[in-house]
Amino acid sequence: MYKRQVIVVEVAPAPNEHDEPHSLEGKIDFADSIVEGLRGEMSSLNQEIHKLDRKTKKLKKSNERFEEVLFRSQQKGASRRAVLSGVETLKQGEKTFLENEKQLVEMDLKSLELQKGLWEWEVYREGLKTSQEEMRFDEWMRREEGLGYEDWKKTKYSQTRQDNLYLALNALNAFLHDTIKESY
């Protein structure tokens, strides 16, 4: 006759449930690497900005001094050729100065974009870390719920919670005491 077979099927957690802590850690690591990369890029960009800014300021001072020298030599009767050559040199200096200023503005805009991106990634990372902490807390609470009340009171969470409540009550009392003093 027919033999009956019993098949035992174990239900595995849904892939998302099981992999969520690992994928969350991976996302946090990825966000950390992006944040560090952005910080490095911002640091090197800020160094470039600083160098170009110093160079531009020196060029501006040099152009101003050259303009004064050119004006004085023109006043003293320098040759037309020397004056025209000086004017051309001054034009090139001014052109370089304006190009540097334009490049500085572009670099500042890029720096602001990087800063914005950095802030967005930091907010995203903090949100992931908060989710991770909530998941750990939920997992811990699930384990703790199996304990009786007396056992639960002995747990770390209960003690920390009691300590935090005590500190919060003391802070509230001090605040109320100060507020009442100020109102009289």
Residue 158, domain member (yes or no): no
Residue 115, domain member (yes or no): yes
Domain count, the chain: 1
**pLDDT digits (tens), the chain, 184 positions:** 566 776 666 655 555 554 555 688 999 999 999 999 999 999 999 999 999 999 999 999 999 998 898 888 888 888 888 888 888 999 999 999 999 999 999 999 999 999 999 999 999 999 898 888 888 877 777 676 666 656 655 665 555 655 666 677 777 777 777 766 665 5
Residue 118, domain member (yes or no): yes
Give buried/exposed letters for 34-72 (b at 16+ CB in 10 A, else e): bbeebeeebeeeeeebeeeeeebeebeeebeeeeeebee
Task: Give the pLDDT of residue 56.
Answer: 95
Residue 10, domain member (yes or no): no
Residue 103, domain member (yes or no): yes
Task: Give the pLDDT of residue 180.
Answer: 66
Residue 53, domain member (yes or no): yes
Residue 182, domain member (yes or no): no
Residue 90, domain member (yes or no): yes
Query: What are the strands, taking DSSP E only, across the chain?
Result: none
Domain span at 132? 21-141
Task: Give the pLDDT of residue 175.
Answer: 72
